[in-house]
Amino acid sequence: MKVLFMQHDAFSPPQLVSERFADHGFEVVEALIVSAGQYDTPGVVSYHFPDPSAFDVIVPMGSPWGAWDDTTIGEWLLPELQWIKQADAVGVPVLGICFGGQLLARAHGGSVARAPDCEIGWTSLWSDNESLIPPGPWFSFHYDRWELPPGASEIARTPRASQAFTLRKNLALQFHPELTADMLEGWCGSPGGGRELIVKDGQDPEVLLAFTRAEEPKSRARAHALVDSFLSQVAGLGHLIKR
């Protein structure tokens, strides 16, 4: 069994999510679209997406750019939307995380746009199916939100944005189950200026980092349980879960 993690930038590794797939015996493949050196010019990057049927699960990850921003990243954004539609057509399960979840919304007939406000930090969700999406807390770092595609079932939300939906073998998440403290530290020091964005939101980055480090054992358990639930309840691959 093989899972493909599609990383859109060099600062968003799959971390807690990929390690759970590995626990279940998946071969983990990580592909990168925009390297660190291309961070300021993502629109000049072209990428050839592989045949989705070569993988048993596909996981599009987060991104510092908007899933609506054809002008900035259209060179690979539009092909990725078509690729995600192709994965659905051939029955490959897709777990979309943050930007990846927004891609699922847009690819299947929904829309993505700037939200009235950002969500940054640890947030509890209102979940209709806690066996699939527990209430958390989960870590969020986004400025956009989706409108559900036709036929999707929303599972979780906050007062600011929809947080999860299912559509056939696809699960879209607006939050980041993969996050570790080291990853957040990387965002803080990235060219995207994560530290400054946290400060602008009225938060202390050092306190948020300390909170994230203290929360990591619990967040790892939540992330692992979420992967298990995705495999069993959405992807139809529950037989692969190692107890």
pLDDT in tens, 186-237: 999 999 999 999 999 999 999 999 999 999 999 999 999 999 999 999 999 9
Give the model's pLDDT for residue 242. 79
- Give a three-class secondary structure readout of 163-175: EEEEECCEEEECC
pLDDT digits (tens, 9 = 90+) for 43-76: 999 999 999 999 999 999 999 999 999 999 999 9
Residue 27 has pLDDT above 80, yes or no: yes
Structural domains counted in the chain: 1
C-alpha 197, offset from chain centre: 19
What stretches of 19-148 adopt beta strand conformation (E)? 27-34, 57-60, 94-97, 111-123, 126-127, 138-147
Give the model's pLDDT for residue 243. 72
Helix, strand or coil for residue 203? coil
Range of the domain at 170: 2-240
Looking at residue 25, its amino acid is: G
Q: What is the mean pLDDT of residues 109-127?
A: 97
CATH of the domain at 138: 3.40.50.880
Give the model's pLDDT for residue 195. 97
* Other CB atoms within 10 Å distance of the CB of residue 97: 28
Give the model's pLDDT for residue 240. 85
For the chain, give the mean pLDDT. Answer: 97
Cβ(26)–Cβ(1) below 8 Å: yes
204, two tokens: 């202390």
Q: What is the pLDDT confidence band of residue 133, given thresholds at 50, 70 and 90?
A: very high
Give the model's pLDDT for residue 213. 98
Helices (H), 129-204: 181-188, 194-200
CA nearest neighbour of 105 among 160, 164, 57: 164
Q: What is the pLDDT confidence band of residue 151, given thresholds at 50, 70 and 90?
A: very high
pLDDT digits (tens, 9 = 90+) for 68-117: 999 999 999 999 999 999 999 999 999 999 999 999 999 999 999 999 99
Q: Look at the block and give the residue holding tokens 């190692």.
A: 242
Pairing verdict, β 2-9 and 57-60: parallel
Give the model's pLDDT for residue 25. 96
